[in-house]
Amino acid sequence: MSLYETLVELERRGEPAALCTVVRTHGSVPRHAGAKMLVWLDGRISGTVGGGEMEAQTIAAALEVLAQGRPRSVRFALQNPTSGDPGVCGGEVEIFVDPITTRPTLLVIGAGHVGRALVHLGRWLGFRVVLTDDRPEQCTPEAAPGADSYICAPIAELPRRLRFHSQTWIVMPTRGMQVDVEGLPHLLDEPHAYLGVIGSRRRWASARRDLEKRGVAREKLDRVHSPMGIELNAETPEEIALSILAEIVMLRNGGDGKPMHAAEPPA
């Protein structure tokens, strides 16, 4: 598979990576302008920008770029290893490291009425939507159209079936508290931007007690949003989905949820 085919596959899977491109060279160097290397979140690579210590430092820079989400250039002088240079070729290399960020992923766990509404609205808002449910008849394009991917599996299998990352937004409009209690321990340690559980405050308080009895740490449960969403007095599945995604958009964009007319006027 060519590097460009790999980039297309990354987009399809919603998987981030960093593209490292040699953009300038001078003198004797291992690779010249145009050489490319992809770096995944786990440090795997495809292609090369020259190998050795220079490549190791480029991989480290790529992982920093992925964490920060901002591109940068790295420059190397390959002359004197005793002063910290990563080689002795004698030349100079500049490498541009660009984060290949994909659409944020909305992972919808539960293909009921609210789940289907979340799929529809999430896709409209530009998320890469993954719908999962352990009921085969519910988790299909026919039953819940609009998702980019369908995973028919219990929650416990999701870490093996889906690559979680810092822009994975998890919403759990599940069919009952027991599903939450059984499933949440498998999600709490996966990378994510948000994890929300549907239901009343009483339902979450009960689920939390059960989870704590099972040994789940309180600080992990403190990060769960439940009840999820912004208070809209929502009733229909579509209104509830709007409430949930309004909270997610607010958090993504650093909003505060206040009515626009209540915002302080500029000085």
Residue 160 has a CB neighbour count (10 Å cut-off) of 8
Band the pLDDT of 50: cuts 50, 70, 90.
Answer: confident
Instruction: Give 232-252 pLDDT, tens digit per residue.
Output: 999 999 999 999 999 999 999
Considering only CA atoms, which of 190, 187, 179, 182 is closest in space to residue 214?
A: 182
Band the pLDDT of 81: cuts 50, 70, 90.
Answer: low
Measured CA distances, 3 to 37, 122, 218 (Å): 8, 30, 44
**Secondary structure (3-state) at 173:** coil
Residue 76 has pLDDT above 90, yes or no: no
Residue 84 has pLDDT above 50, yes or no: no
Choice among 22-26, 84-88, 187-191, 231-235 with the minimum mean pLDDT: 84-88
DSSP code for 225: B
Q: Hey, what amino acid is at 223?
A: R
Considering only CA atoms, which of 44, 48, 43 is closest in space to residue 93?
A: 48
Residue 212 has pLDDT above 80, yes or no: yes
**Stated pTM of the model:** 0.75
Supply the angle between the helices 113-124 and 237-253 in degrees, to the nearest 10: 40
* Distance of alpha carbon 177 from alpha carbon 244, whole angstroms: 18
Q: How many residues appear in the chain?
A: 267
Pairing of strands 36-40, 17-26: antiparallel
pLDDT at position 1 is 72
Considering only CA atoms, which of 173, 217, 162 is closest in space to residue 195?
A: 173
Band the pLDDT of 85: cuts 50, 70, 90.
Answer: very low
Cα four-point dihedral sign 195, 197, 203, 209: negative
Mean pLDDT (whole number) for 222-229: 96
Alpha helices in 73-200, H assignment, sequence order? 113-124, 158-161, 177-183
pLDDT at position 12 is 76
Find out whether the peptide bond into 227 is cis, omega within 30 degrees of 0.
Answer: yes
Mean pLDDT (whole number) for 147-166: 93
Cα four-point dihedral sign 108, 242, 120, 201: positive
Sequence-distant (6+) residues with CB within 8 A of 222 are: none
Band the pLDDT of 267: cuts 50, 70, 90.
Answer: low
The chain-wide mean pLDDT, for the chain, equals 90
pLDDT at position 69 is 79
Domains of the chain are: 3-100 (no CATH), 105-253 (3.40.50.720)
Mean pLDDT (whole number) for 205-228: 96
* Distance of alpha carbon 143 from alpha carbon 51, whole angstroms: 50
Band the pLDDT of 114: cuts 50, 70, 90.
Answer: very high
Alpha helices in the chain, H assignment, sequence order? 3-13, 52-68, 113-124, 158-161, 177-183, 201-213, 218-221, 237-253
Instruction: Give 28-45 pLDDT, tens digit per residue.
Output: 777 888 999 999 888 899
Band the pLDDT of 177: cuts 50, 70, 90.
Answer: very high
Band the pLDDT of 90: cuts 50, 70, 90.
Answer: low
- 156 is written with which tokens? 């416990």
